[in-house]
A and B are shown apart, each in its own frame.
Chain A
Amino acid sequence: MTKLIATRLSETPGLKTRPSPKKPLLKRIAKGGFVAALPFLAPALAAYVVFVIGPMFSAVRLSLYKWSGFTTDKQVFVGFQNYVRLFTKDPVFWTAVQNSVVWVLLSLVIPTTLGLLMALALNRPVFGRNVFRSVFYIPGVLAPIAIANMWRWMYNPNYGVISDISKALHFGDGSGVTFLSDPKVAIYAIFAAFVWQVAGLNMVLFLAGLQSVSKELVESARLDGANAWQVFRNVTLPALRPTVVVVLVLTIVNSIKVFDLVVGMTGGGPAQKSQVLALWSYSQSFLNHDFGLGNATATVLLLITLVLVIPYMIWSTKGNED
């Protein structure tokens, strides 16, 4: 049956197309109307270069300098000294790296799975479907700093509802968990707020993807005797593949640069134990006035992001050209 469905999938328009033979780049550019489109692209391209590419190069350049950030202060070239300091002497950098990696890994599993489950549940004709969709989506449109404030109050050890529940259940040493105060728990407590924020967004993306799943294929799979899991595994999931990739890439990008929630809930504390790369870069530059070290951290973050995102860019470019 799997083979049959696979065959049918391959016949479905848009799901699999035969790759066209490669032409020389210049010919492809000319044929694609790039030159004609250039005047129209130029303003956006100029803005992109000035506001995105320029600052990016500036950050990399500054990572090779010692500078306090004051325009009145001179920038002194120090080569790779900031990177050496960062990797060997910075007491917080590796904690920030570890937290960022853990955050990305957890993000790839928890909010994406939750988003998919919610989308599957709300893709059926159930009572109050639109209300539930809206309710789950609302956290995604709230400002992250507002979410941080809300959750900080819920975790407040004296007045917070979550703390009260943990006290009532005698969690921790029996007197409840001090979520944002415990260096081992704080980062996960912030992550819970992140899940609440992004699961609804993922749900919307998956819902959009589910609309492209061929009803005929699902129907024929059922006629062939497939149960719900088999339909999902062999029909829905393969058809959702482009959506899954988009969700995963967006999740990686959003989670590697997480900043607002951490700032709003712990500021990287206690004792820098919930520190993440983006916030540590900011703290080095704007709080410690060490722009060299801050930009070295930002450059490391940029490289990590590129390593994770470039494969997606190649994949998506190929998809467009084929």
Chain B
Amino acid sequence: MRLLAKGVAALAAVALLAGCGANASGTSNDSGKTTVTWWTINQSSPSADAALDKIITDFEAANPDIKIERTARAVDAHKDALRTAIGTSAAPDIYNYWAGPGLGGELVKANASADLTDYYKQYNWQDRFTGAALNPVTQYGGFQGVPWKLNGEALYYNKALFAKAGITKLPTTLDELNDTAAKLKAAGITPIEFGGTVNWHLMRLLDTFLEGYCGSAKFDQLVTNKANWGKEDCVTKSFTNLATWSKDYLNPGFIGINNDESSALFYNGKAAMALEGDWFDKNISDQKVNMNDFGVFPLPTGTGRLYGFEEAEYISKDSPHKDAAAKFLDYLTSTKVQQEVLGTFATQSVNKAVTPKAGGDALSTSWDSIFKDAKGLYMNNDQNLSLSSTTEYWRIQNLVATGGMAPDQAGAEFQKFLDSNN
């Protein structure tokens, strides 16, 4: 019996030593290479996925002592995985995340990301990125993350369907946009597609109405809890317009399908417009359709601001491989790589030395002017609001969109939630 106990103890000790020797986050291996783990969201197109793989292959060839291990997940799974892993040995060395206060800001607040000030000095990153790209990573103090892509969102449209509905001029105000949708509907065309199960897709339309009807200053006050949602007429007007669009202009059954399913309606010419980001150029081209059949125009809010958000690459605070991770991020955002992938992840680069592609298609040319003409940026509200507030914002948005709540009650209902949670 004593022998058995000794045997068990010896086995346990061996197992313990083996456990200590193995790195829980998989960041070192037998070949002596440093393995940097990188968590990203799934790319929206196969070509974007292939481009990331190529970046990794090229980097590893140039840096044989570093191996990059990328794990891609769906949006919500990515958020879940990070929340579970941050602060533990399972956390990745680098994680991709949205830079807005409601998402990236929450992780910064939770001490998930490392302040990269020293690396910004070492690699001279402050001179590399555009001012617009740097703002989201410096807003929390220090340098939290490295800008990866700044996406703008706008309205894509099918030229043939617009022509069929007799639309000759692109809308420049919300009233004109409402008229455009009415004309399309009158011509028997579904004006715009949305997939409601993911919530954030339809949110873009509500955000647009809020920016347009409330104006930039009031919009910013609302999302920072400095104005009362229940007392602003523009909020009611926005929800009223959302109700009208949901009832009359969106694809039937939109709330029961996701954005990929609804995008198929746009690709197939069954819906005239799609409210998407500049990554959507690649999605369209992946469908092997004629890119010149489609156009894009800025959201006609009248404020001149660009609707969009930034994604950054963050280095985990507890990463044991910060130097290798920073080296990879330096490569990822270098002028050479950014020039090569321009148009794959976004039409504009965060690297200010990158020049627009010569002879690009009509869509990318339109995006160049959309970014150039923009007077500031307003972010998607799931980036602006806290997670629980976003969940409630979506609930109310969907209630109004499905006729379950009168638009004039929506603002007060949301304010009630904000008041009881702050």
Contact = CB atoms under 8 A, between A and B. Distances in A.
Interface of A: 68-73, 85, 89, 91-92, 155-158, 163, 175, 178-183, 186, 266-267, 269-273, 283-284, 286-290
B10 interface: no
B199 interface: yes
Interface in B261-319: 261, 265, 270, 317
A181 B395 contact: no
B112 interface: yes
Interface stretch (B158-166, B205-213, B396-404): B396-404
Contact of B387 (A72, A186, A287): A287
B386 to A, nearest CB: 8
A231 B257 CA distance: 49
Interface in B53-90: 76, 79-80, 83-84, 86-88
Nearest to B252: A157
A60 B269 CA distance: 53
A175 B391 contact: no
B395 A289 contact: no
13 contacts: A70-B86, A71-B86, A72-B86, A156-B253, A157-B252, A269-B255, A269-B398, A270-B401, A271-B401, A271-B404, A284-B388, A287-B76, A289-B83
A180 B256 CA distance: 5
Interface of B: 76, 79-80, 83-84, 86-88, 106, 110-112, 196-197, 199, 251-257, 261, 265, 270, 317, 387-388, 391-392, 395-399, 401-402, 404-405, 413, 417, 420-421
Pick the most buried of A71, A85, A178: most chain B CB atoms within 10 A of its CB: A71
A163 B251 CA distance: 14
B256 A288 contact: no
A85 B401 CA distance: 27
Contact of A271 (B84, B111, B395): B395
B256 A266 contact: yes
A70 B82 CA distance: 9
Contact of A269 (B84, B87, B196, B388): B196
Contacts of A71: 86-88
A181 B196 contact: yes
Nearest to A273: B404
A289 B106 contact: yes
A91 B265 CA distance: 34
Given A158-B265, A183-B404, A289-B387, A69 B83 contact: yes
Given A183-B402, A287-B391, A290-B388, A70 B256 contact: no
Contacts of B395: 91-92, 271-272
A72 B112 contact: yes
B252 A271 contact: no
B199 to A, nearest CB: 7
Contact of A158 (B76, B86, B261, B421): B261
Nearest to B396: A271
A191 B41 CA distance: 32
Contacts of B421: 89
Contact of B417 (A91, A182, A270): A91
Given A72-B86, A91-B417, A287-B387, A270 B256 contact: yes
A286 B80 contact: yes
A70 B86 CA distance: 7
B265 A181 contact: no
A188 to B, nearest CB: 13
Nearest to B317: A72
A91 B79 CA distance: 23
B404 A72 contact: no
Query: Which 9 A-B residue pairings sit nearest by Cβ, starting from the closest?
Result: A157-B253, A71-B87, A180-B256, A181-B256, A271-B398, A178-B253, A70-B110, A72-B87, A271-B399
Pick the most buried of B86, B88, B402: most chain A CB atoms within 10 A of its CB: B402
A157 B387 contact: no
B190 to A, nearest CB: 10
Pick the most buried of A158, A175, A179, A183: most chain B CB atoms within 10 A of its CB: A158
Contact of A70 (B112, B199, B270, B420): B112
A175 B401 CA distance: 19
Pick the most buried of A72, A178, A267, A287: most chain B CB atoms within 10 A of its CB: A72
Contacts of A72: 86-87, 110-112, 317
Nearest to A270: B255
A156 B110 contact: no
Contacts of B111: 70, 72-73
Given A271-B404, A289-B387, A181 B254 contact: yes
Contacts of A267: 197
Contact of A288 (B197, B317, B388): B388
B351 to A, nearest CB: 31
B398 A178 contact: no
A271 B197 CA distance: 9
A68 B110 contact: yes
B87 A178 contact: no
Contact of B255 (A89, A156, A158, A181): A181
A146 to B, nearest CB: 16
B315 to A, nearest CB: 15
A89 B420 contact: yes
B83 A286 contact: yes
B125 to A, nearest CB: 25
A121 to B, nearest CB: 34
A158 B24 CA distance: 46
A270 B255 CA distance: 6
A51 B112 CA distance: 28
Contacts of B402: 181-183, 270-271
Given A266-B256, A269-B199, A70 B87 contact: yes
A192 to B, nearest CB: 14
